[in-house]
């Protein structure tokens, strides 16, 4: 993967789509490991969806969105993970 911001990602995706030898498979996000707070996931998923919609509106295919590994494991038993809220993201 390539670590980049949203504007750079959009420009890069356009370059890839213009290359006859490359077929982009979609977009992916990985925000880190062992994150149990849902707010960063919501922000990342919203940004990824906005980028996908921008690219699709410009006529570029975005066949897949990879949302990363998901919520961190509660090794210290700090409290239950709200998977219902996570599923609603």
C-alpha 88: how far from its chain's center?
A: 15
The winner for highest mean pLDDT among 27-31, 32-36, 49-53, 80-84 is 49-53
Burial of 36 (0-12, 13-18, 19+ CB in 10 A): middle
- Give every CB contact of residue 35 below 8 A, 6+ residues apart in sequence: 41, 71, 72
The total number of residues written for the chain in this structure = 89
State the chain's mean pLDDT as an integer: 89
- What pLDDT does 58 receive? 96
Kindly tell me if the per-residue pLDDT of 1 is higher than 80: no
Kindly tell me if the per-residue pLDDT of 3 is higher than 70: no
């Amino acid at each position: 993967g390539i670590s980049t911001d949203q504007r750079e990602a959009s420009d890069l995706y356009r370059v890839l789509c213009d290359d006859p030898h490359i077929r982009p498979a979609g977009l992916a996000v990985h925000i880190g490991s062992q994150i149990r707070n849902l707010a960063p996931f919501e922000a990342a998923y919203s940004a990824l969806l906005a980028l996908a919609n921008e690219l699709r509106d410009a006529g570029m295919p975005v066949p897949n969105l990879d949302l990363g590994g998901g919520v961190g494991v509660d090794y210290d038993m700090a409290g239950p993970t709200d998977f219902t809220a996570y599923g609603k993201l």
